[in-house]
Structures are given as structure tokens and as C-alpha cells.
């Protein structure tokens, strides 16, 4: 199984991830050709060789058509530049925060980056434009991008919009991206997913993520690092103890990690094939790079892992409360949650709530059980389980593209099954029974 390990030496941003994957060997022409088919402004994408504390790395420079933007955007900070969003700080990467749209547009940049301070209207020569998250998601959905690229890109944008919407108290679909920021975000996010497709990567593993320290100035004042949206996206993601002054991980970087990582930790057993480095703009006392390693992961006949099983019995929680608690448990990182009818003391009918989770998420799940149900205590035990490796493939059928989950042991495919949501959507769209869609998928798998 082709696996990418993202070693977040100095955090992660969208442009650094894309540059690292191109340095690793992703086909730049493949990436650009697909991006230019999207209904976005004309752009030029260059990957420039730079030195970061003795490490040669690729650095992304984006140039936009002068008619549209009138400047080069060289990712000294990035993606979702928003109106009324002041910056007077130094940080390592592109600053990609999509903030709530206000009506007095003051897009100032007061720190060292690659182009002159200006308002967007002055630079572009036309009235200000915005892209709502829902517009970007619709554009990806209606595009001709490969199926897996669509799936990964949509997942990232959904997560970023949800995080921003939660921070600002608004519907995620209504989160606005400044036009320049939206362009950067689209190119970075979809570019990363196209690079992964070019490399035919099935699995992404990510190291613990450093966030940086200090504060950054926004329209509403000084905010801590990690920024609110970044912190929201990094919930459930293991963080690194490495610290440096400045913003090391941005919302787009955090979104990529949260959406695409299959697991977190140190470099697993396997054979390294290629290594690529993507550079941030600023020079630190440490190498400001993201390292991407392509390798073939070792297969073992049996893959065992430790999981934590949490249990609580309740006899006075309603179905609505238990249903809501289940949602919150999955948000906290639960692998599975299930309810079993039981008879408790005094022969009272009750419910046994069982939660399966990885050890890193067990405390959050335990706290959620105590907060969201009426239980007075939670039992905990460590279990060993044997699991099959999983990967997703895309199958083109008469009813459209359907994702299929495959269970793998070594080089053998043990079983495979269509993704229910894809199959159900196809059945609704074509007005056929769900079983017909399943049969069509299995016909192409045989």
C-alpha cells in the first residue's frame, strides 16, 4: 500500500504540503492542468528551490492575472485573507483564516510578506468579491476532478467551514472567503489532493503537529496561537511539544491533517522510497519545512492494536439524550458506539452504553459520557483487537462513480463493499432499487 508520511517538523500549511508533495515527485503538469479547468481566475504556479537552514526545499509562488488581482501572491501568509483582518505579526506560513465578512473592508497587511500593502479593491481594479464556502463546495462537486480528489477536497473544505462557522456563530455554508484568499485556498487544498492522486497514495500518516506560540493580531484584537479555527480543527489531533515563536500550523494545514490522516504517530515500519521537502516563507532557528516521505508499509499477517472500551449503564436517560450523546462521542474520537438493552438493579430496564476508542481519545470520550448521559461512573478496560487494513477505490458504473471499501491482509483483498451513501444517492438519482446499484458495483469488481 502506497503511504505518505507527513513529518510536521515545523507545522503544516497548505502551500507547504503541496510543495513537499511536488518535491516528492507529484506531477506538476497533472496538478496544474486539472486546476486550470476549474472556474477560477487565471494563475501561474511555480515551485522554486530554496534553502531553509541547510535543507533544500520547494517553495510555492502563486501569480494571478493582473486583470484580476494585479499582484503575485507568494505565500508569505496564505489562503483565506479576509476583510477587516489586520496582521502586524511575523509568522512562518501563509495565514489562511476565513473570518466573518464585515461591511467596511480594510484588508491591511503590516508585516513582512511578498507584496505591498493594499486594499483588495485597489489591487484588483474591480469591486470586491467573495466566495462562500457553499460556492466552493458546489464548484468542486460539479467539477470533472477525479473522484478521490473530489472526496478529499470536499472533506477538507467542509471541516474548515464548520470550524470557522462554529467560531463565528454562523452557518458553515455562509462562511465567506475573501476572493484572493479563496483562490489560494482552492489551489492549495485541491492541489494537495491532486498531488496525492498523482502519486497514487492510499494512506496518509501524520506526525504530532506543532502549533507555535505567541499571539497574532486580527480585526477584533490579539488572538492566541493556535488561532481559534486552527485549534478547533486540531481537536483530537496529537500535538507536538516542539515550540517556536509564531504561527506554525494554519487552518488550511490543520484541515488537511484532520480530513486526510488515517493515523498519527512516528514513522511506521516500512521501506522509504522518496522524500520531499516543502518550505515555509520565513527563516527560523530551525528548518522551516514540511517533510513528506513516500514508502511501502510493511505487511504483517496479523495487525493488532490496543483499544479502550468504556461502558456506562443508565436507566433514566431518554432516547433523544442517548442519541445526542452518541453524536458527541463520535465527535470526541470514538471508533464505535452502541447501545444494549439490559436489566439493572430492582429489575429496571436500562441501556448499556459501550464506546470503543483509541487510547489517545479515551479521556475525551470518558468526559463526554459523564457530561452527556445521566451516569455517575464509567468503566474502562483495555482490549486487544486484530484489524484488517482498509483502503478506498473508486468504481465507475452505469450509475456513476461509487466508492468501495476494501479490507486487505498482506497482498490479499479479504472483502470489499460499496459505500452505502454513494450507492443510495445513485439509486435515488437514477430511480432504481438500491440492490440494483450494488449488483452493478459487484459486477465491475469481479
What CATH number does residue 345 fall under? 3.30.70.1380
**Is residue 282 very low, low, confident or very high in pLDDT (cuts 50, 70, 90)?**
confident
Q: How far is CA 271 from CA 98, 214, 267, 366, 407, in A?
A: 39, 38, 11, 37, 22
pLDDT exceeds cutoff 90 at 290? yes
Q: What is the CA radius of gyration of the chain?
A: 23
Q: What is the pLDDT of residues 263-279, one digit of tens each?
A: 888 888 788 999 999 99
> Tell me, what's the pLDDT at 102?
35
**Same domain for 108 and 247?**
yes
> Tell me, what's the pLDDT at 180?
44
Residue pointed to by grid coordinates 505518505: 4
Name which residue leads in pLDDT, 356 or 170.
356
**Is residue 67 very low, low, confident or very high in pLDDT (cuts 50, 70, 90)?**
low
Please report, for the domain that includes residue 407, its CATH number. 3.10.20.300
> Tell me, what's the pLDDT at 297?
64
Name which residue leads in pLDDT, 191 or 282.
191
pLDDT exceeds cutoff 50 at 210? yes
SS (H, E, C) the chain: CEEEEEECECECCHHHHHHHHHHHCCCHHHHHHHHCCCCCCCEEEEEEEEEECCEEEEEEEEEECCCCCCCEECCCCCCCCCCCCCECCCCCCCCCCCCCCCCCCCCCECCCCCCCCCCHHHHHCCCCCEEEHHHHHHHHHCCCCCHHHHHHHHHHHHHHHHHHHHHHCCCHHHCEEEHHHHHHHHHHHHHHHHHHHHCCCCEEEECCECCCECEEEECCEEEECCCHHHHHHCCCCCECCCCCECCCCCHHHHHHHHHHCCEECCCCCEEEEEEEEEECCCCCCCCCEEEEEEEEECCCCCCEEEEEEEEEEECCCCHHHHHHHHHHHHHCCEEEEEEEEEECHHHCEEEEEEEEECHHHHHHHHHHHHHHCCCCCCEEEEEEEECCEEEEEEEEECCEEEEEEEEEECCEEEEEEECHHHHHHHHHHHCCCHHHHHHHHHHHHC
Residue pointed to by grid coordinates 468579491: 129
**Is residue 76 very low, low, confident or very high in pLDDT (cuts 50, 70, 90)?**
very low
Contact, 98 vs 254, CB < 8 A? no
Residues in the chain: 446
Separation of alpha carbons 313 and 335, rounded Å: 19
Mean pLDDT of 144-153: 92
**Is residue 353 very low, low, confident or very high in pLDDT (cuts 50, 70, 90)?**
very high
Mode of pairing for the β-strands spanning 334-343 and 389-397: unpaired
> Tell me, what's the pLDDT at 168?
84
**Is residue 82 very low, low, confident or very high in pLDDT (cuts 50, 70, 90)?**
very low
**Is residue 94 very low, low, confident or very high in pLDDT (cuts 50, 70, 90)?**
very low
Q: Which three cell numbers stand for residue 321?
A: 439524550
Separation of alpha carbons 116 and 113, rounded Å: 8
Sign for the pseudo-dihedral over CA of 260, 265, 271, 273: positive
Residue pointed to by grid coordinates 468504556: 310
Sign for the pseudo-dihedral over CA of 211, 159, 174, 147: positive
The domain total for the chain is 3
> Tell me, what's the pLDDT at 101?
41
pLDDT exceeds cutoff 70 at 91? no
> Tell me, what's the pLDDT at 96?
53
Ramachandran angles phi, psi of 258, nearest 5°: -65, -40
**Same domain for 208 and 271?**
yes
Ramachandran angles phi, psi of 437, nearest 5°: -65, -45
Instruction: Point out the domain boundary residue: 264, 297, 330.
Output: 297
Mean pLDDT of 342-347: 90
Highest mean pLDDT among 26-35, 154-163, 399-408: 26-35
**Same domain for 242 and 353?**
no
> Tell me, what's the pLDDT at 126?
36
**Same domain for 379 and 402?**
no
Domain extent at residue 410? 389-445
Ramachandran angles phi, psi of 404, nearest 5°: -130, 130
Q: What is the pLDDT of residues 19-59, one digit of tens each?
A: 999 999 999 999 999 999 999 889 999 999 999 999 999 99
**Is residue 302 very low, low, confident or very high in pLDDT (cuts 50, 70, 90)?**
low
**Same domain for 157 and 114?**
yes
**Same domain for 226 and 263?**
yes
**Same domain for 79 and 23?**
yes
**Is residue 66 very low, low, confident or very high in pLDDT (cuts 50, 70, 90)?**
low
pTM check: above 0.75: no
Q: What is the pLDDT of residues 160-181, one digit of tens each?
A: 998 988 888 888 888 876 544 5
**Same domain for 142 and 155?**
yes
> Which of 7-21, 37-51, 113-127, 377-391 is least confident?
113-127
Instruction: Point out the domain boundary residue: 247, 274, 297.
Output: 297
Q: What is the pLDDT of residues 307-339, one digit of tens each?
A: 999 999 999 999 999 999 999 999 888 999 999
> Tell me, what's the pLDDT at 428?
92
> Tell me, what's the pLDDT at 36?
94
Contact, 4 vs 294, CB < 8 A? yes
**Same domain for 16 and 61?**
yes
Average of per-residue pLDDT values in the chain: 82
> Tell me, what's the pLDDT at 284?
86
> Tell me, what's the pLDDT at 379?
96
pLDDT exceeds cutoff 60 at 129? no
**Same domain for 31 and 98?**
yes
Amino acid at each position: 500500500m502506497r503511504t505518505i508520511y507527513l513529518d510536521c517538523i515545523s507545522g503544516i500549511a497548505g502551500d507547504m504540503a503541496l510543495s513537499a508533495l511536488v518535491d516528492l515527485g507529484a506531477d506538476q503538469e497533472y496538478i496544474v492542468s486539472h486546476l486550470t479547468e476549474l472556474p477560477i481566475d487565471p494563475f501561474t504556479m511555480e515551485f522554486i528551490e530554496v534553502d531553509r537552514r541547510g535543507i533544500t526545499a520547494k517553495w510555492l509562488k502563486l501569480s494571478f492575472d493582473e486583470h484580476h488581482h494585479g499582484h503575485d501572491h507568494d505565500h508569505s501568509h496564505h489562503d483565506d485573507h479576509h476583510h477587516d483582518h489586520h496582521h502586524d505579526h511575523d509568522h512562518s506560513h501563509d495565514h489562511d483564516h476565513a473570518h466573518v465578512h464585515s461591511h467596511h473592508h480594510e484588508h491591511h497587511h503590516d508585516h513582512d510578506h511578498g507584496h505591498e500593502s493594499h486594499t483588495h479593491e485597489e489591487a484588483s481594479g474591480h469591486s470586491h468579491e467573495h466566495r462562500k464556502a457553499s460556492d466552493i463546495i458546489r464548484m468542486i462537486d460539479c467539477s470533472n476532478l477525479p473522484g478521490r480528489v473530489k472526496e478529499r477536497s470536499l472533506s477538507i473544505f467542509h471541516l474548515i467551514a464548520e470550524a470557522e462557522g462554529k467560531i463565528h456563530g454562523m452557518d458553515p455554508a455562509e462562511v465567506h472567503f475573501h476572493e484572493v484568499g479563496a483562490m489560494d485556498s482552492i489551489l492549495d487544498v485541491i492541489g494537495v489532493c491532486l498531488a496525492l492522486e498523482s502519486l497514487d497514495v492510499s494512506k496518509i500518516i501524520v506526525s504530532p503537529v506543532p502549533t507555535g506560540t505567541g499571539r497574532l493580531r486580527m480585526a477584533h484584537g490579539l488572538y492566541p496561537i493556535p488561532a481559534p479555527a486552527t485549534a478547533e480543527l486540531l481537536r483530537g489531533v496529537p500535538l507536538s511539544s516542539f515550540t517556536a515563536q509564531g504561527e506554525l500550523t494554519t487552518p488550511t494545514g490543520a484541515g488537511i491533517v484532520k480530513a486526510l490522516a488515517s493515523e498519527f504517530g512516528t514513522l511506521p515500519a516500512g521501506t522509504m522510497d522518496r522524500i520531499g521537502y516543502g518550505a515555509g516563507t520565513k527563516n527560523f532557528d530551525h528548518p522551516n519545512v514540511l517533510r513528506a516521505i513516500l514508502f511501502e508499509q510493511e505487511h504483517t499477517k496479523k495487525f493488532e492494536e490496543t483499544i479502550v472500551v468504556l461502558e456506562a449503564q443508565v436507566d433514566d436517560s431518554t432516547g433523544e439524550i442517548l442519541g445526542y450523546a452518541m453524536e458527541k462521542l463520535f465527535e470526541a474520537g470514538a471508533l464505535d458506539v452502541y447501545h444494549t438493552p439490559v436489566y439493572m438493579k430492582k429489575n429496571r430496564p436500562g441501556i448499556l452504553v459501550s464506546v470503543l476508542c483509541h487510547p489517545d481519545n479515551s479521556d475525551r470520550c470518558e468526559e463526554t459520557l459523564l457530561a452527556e448521559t445521566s451516569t455517575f461512573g464509567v468503566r474502562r478496560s483495555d482490549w486487544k483487537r486484530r484489524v484488517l487494513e482498509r483502503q478506498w477505490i473508486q468504481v465507475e458504473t452505469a450509475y456513476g462513480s461509487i466508492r468501495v471499501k476494501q479490507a486487505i491482509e498482506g497482498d490479499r483483498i479479504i472483502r470489499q463493499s460499496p459505500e452505502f451513501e454513494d450507492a443510495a444517492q445513485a439509486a435515488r438519482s437514477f430511480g432504481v432499487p438500491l440492490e440494483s446499484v450494488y449488483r452493478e458495483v459487484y459486477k465491475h469488481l469481479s
